[in-house]
Structure 1
Amino acid sequence: MGTEVVLVAGLTDHHVADEIWRRSPDSALVRHDLSRLAGGTIRRWVDGVLTELELAHGCVSCTLRLDLLPLLEELNCRVIVHLDPVLEPEAVCFALAETDIRVDAVVTVVDRATWLADATGEDTLAERGMGAADSDERTVAQVVVGQAEFADALVLAGDGDPVLDAVLDRLNPLAPRQDLSALDVPALFAAIPANARRGGFDDGFGSLLYGGPSLEPAHGVSVVHFAKQRPFHPMRLHGAMGVLLDDVVRARGRVWMASQRDEALWLESAGRSLRVGNLGSWRESGHGPAQELVVITTSPEPEKITTALAAALVTDEELALIDELEFADPFTDWREEE
């Protein structure tokens, strides 16, 4: 029958994976604990049976490649995978894409009491004592935002919060949501739409408004959609980065830089962390070069984001001389910006 998996993610303690397992006849429950990964050890349970494994390299990618993937292929059934709290389901699905394992659903548990503060904060996992390895420099915001954004369904713990609901409506509008206190597994899975991601991902050139989120503000939450047919001046964009960090839950999109006009860059922020990477050539993408960024913000003045980004574009004079000008470019090495 092959292996199909349900990935259950979330930074909070929960029993959701166990409940899905109980509702899935002839399935297996796999749980990982990466708290000792920095020392080269992981703990893994299969249907409650503990195994401790030693890895030559204590890193998340080795855990996936050397343990989880071979295990899932060996089980050859429906597997409910309770991910370690610091694992991001997108990274797991990226690894699974090289196998015949099918992702049936990604379920993320969101703690209403802490999620929004985590998603707009600057704490690193290491500062919380949760780093998956000595080299793990991720922030808590990167993890919780990524977990919620990539989910096919969301389970919410704690009391309702209209601001959080408005954020999730815009971060992941397709995912059905249920309260943890009234979890109905069959109903939750039945509500997952036919066009849900189910572990799939694009190359960075897909729609930035996945699921068609509302662009109207609600409860102090706004979506800024910035799209322009003009490159950024790299130094001015670097100086404007603060608007993508303050009161921002998520910013993501494609960037066209005057200093690298043939290359499409990918910009992504969560909370107070921001990363810039290289998507490849605009020519090979099928997209014409252009700016497109989507920002989910709780700022009372979201228009300041548009104003700051517009001011970072090259001027008419710079555009006329663009082939002759040399632009200092702090983004050349695709380093993570903090």
Structure 2
Amino acid sequence: MAPESTSTLVIPLAGFWPYATDAAVQRLDGVAVLDLRASGLAAQALIKVVVKEARRVGAPSVVTLLPERYEPDDVRIAWSESDVPDDVRLGMVCTAVAADQVLDGLANDNPVCSVDPYTHALDDRRIADLIARQIEQADAVIVIGRPEGDEDWESEQLRTLLRRLAPWATVRDELTAEIHRPTPHRTPLMPAIRGLSGHAVGIHEPMAVDGVVSCVFRQKRPFHPARLHTALERITGRVVRSRGHFWLASRPDMVLSWESASVLRIEGAGGWLADLPDSSWNEVHPERRIAATLDWDHYYGDRHHQLAFIGIDLDAEDLDRTLTACLLTDEELADGFDAWRGLPDPFAFHPH
């Protein structure tokens, strides 16, 4: 559907590979393009420039090429926090990927700051983190070119992989008329912790499709910290991407986020609603309150794991057995919360 003539639709285009974003916009006809890839501006300052230029150009649609370090959620957050006039609207947030570089990119553990001089000094993302998030936070993923082997099965495998990485996005070969509509995701997707609000963190399809396996591990009883730490290499060894949230018996008050792409990143992501007094529940987002209420357990409260794993030729049964073996046994469970806090915990991280 074409945008209303009285307003301008801004279509952000993210991407790590400049030749892929170039190729995506070269196919457009009659759409204004604003190239901000060389900008060193922070997100909110960038949005001010985008809005100013969109109003100056006055075109129905303006495709904005984002700096390579940007993630789609950066745009959504900055847009929601900015005073944007009604005649400029946010369109679908898209990501362009180079078909012959995606798999290598998702395994690249070099820091983003090594390729982008404007990256903040405290930004510890790896290139693989950035590429994975650009894909999974997009409303639409634009695939440019073909995989290196140029075989049809490789192209199908790549598209299946992208659909598993971002099941809420569309995967296509070019920017089409469908993008000329307001974004379906006005709030940040935050794929790693979206399960806390009742949204799926991935698709559970343990049977391989084009060689791609996607599975979701859901359990309530906590992980034993030492057993989980010992099993990490086996858990992530054949995984292209994993994400979600979980909890450790030794830290029952903490929600922990889990993200892996080349390396595993575990961080504190707040607390569980089970620890909040009833009077504080109204301060929590309604979606999370509803999700917690629907899945409430009389013993664990809202504590649970929801972890998605996506890989090629991944053994889903072995992965499930490995994760299950990391849970507390019945005997350990009977010891109770106070005893769990004293379990050996080799994890080193701090809550945000």
TM-score range, shorter chain: 0.7 to 0.9
2:150 paired residue number: none
Q: Which has the higher strand share?
A: 1
Q: Residue 319 of structure 1: CA displacement?
A: 0.9
SS in 2 for 1:90: helix
Q: CA 1:6/1:20 → structure 2, altered by over 3 Å: closer, same or farther?
A: farther
2:214 counterpart of 1:209: no
Contact 1:9 1:88 (C-alpha < 8 Å) held by counterparts? yes
Larger deviation, residues 99-108 vs 10-19: 10-19
Task: From 76, 80, 83, give the equivalent of 2:63.
Answer: 80
Structure 1 segments of 4+ aligned residues over 6 angstroms from their partners: none
Structure 2 residue matching 1:69: 3-state secondary structure: helix
Matched, 1:164 2:179: no
- Number of residue equivalences: 301
Alignment deviations for residues 274-326 of structure 1 (CA, whole Å, 9 cap, x no partner):
23222322335432211111111224423232122111111111111122341
Q: In the alignment, which residue of structure 1 is the partner of 2:152?
A: none
Quote the residue 1:189 is aligned against. 179
Q: Which residue of 1 is the match for residue 22 of structure 2?
A: 15
1:222 to 213, 225, 234: 213
Deviation, structure 1 residue 76? 5.8
State the secondary structure of the residue aligned to 2:222: coil
Deviates more, 1:279-288 or 1:87-96: 279-288
Question: Scaled by the length of structure 1, what TM-score is found?
Answer: 0.76
Decide whether the 8 Å contact of 1:105 with 1:199 is kept in 2.
no
Between 1:216-225 and 1:76-85, the stretch displaced more is: 76-85
2:203/2:214 contact within 8 Å kept: no
The residue that corresponds to 2:78 in the other structure is 95
Q: Indicate whether 1:267 and 2:267 are aligned.
A: no
CA distance in 1, matches of 2:188, 2:120: 27
Match of 1:175 in 2: 169
Q: Distance in 1 between matches of 2:224 and 2:269?
A: 17
Question: SS at the partner of 2:240?
Answer: strand
How far is the alpha carbon of 1:74 from its aligned partner?
A: 3.4
More deviation in 136-145 or 157-166?
157-166
Cα deviation digits, residues 162-194 of structure 1 (max 9, x gap): 221221121123433332xxx3532x427x8x9
Structure 1 counterpart of 2:222: 231
Aligned counterparts, 1:111-190, within 5 A: 111-127=98-114, 132-159=119-146, 161-179=155-173, 183=174, 185-186=176-177, 188-189=178-179
What CA deviation, in whole Å up to 9, does each residue of 1:115-138 have, x standing for no partner?
A: 012113433334557772444331
Change (3 A) 1:224 1:32: same
| CA shift in 2, pair 1:195/1:17, >3 Å | closer
Gapped regions of structure 1 (runs ≥ 5): 35-41, 43-61
Secondary structure of the 1:307 match is: helix
**Cα RMSD between the aligned structures?**
3.2
Give the corresponding residue for 1:38.
none
Q: Kindly provide the CA deviation profile for residues 207-253 of structure 1, in whole angstroms up to 9, marking residues without a partner as x.
A: 45368675532122111211112011122222222244322222111
2-structure distance, mates of 1:131, 1:31? 13
1:63 paired with 2:42, answer yes
**Letter aligned with residue 22 of structure 2:** H
Q: Is the 1:246–1:271 contact (alpha carbons within 8 Å) kept by the matching residues of 2?
A: no
Tell me, yes or no, if the aligned pair for 2:143 and 2:172 is still in contact at 8 Å. yes
Tell me which amino acid in the other structure corresponds to 1:189: I
**Unmatched segments (≥5 aa) in structure 2:** 1-5, 56-60, 148-154, 275-280, 282-287, 293-301
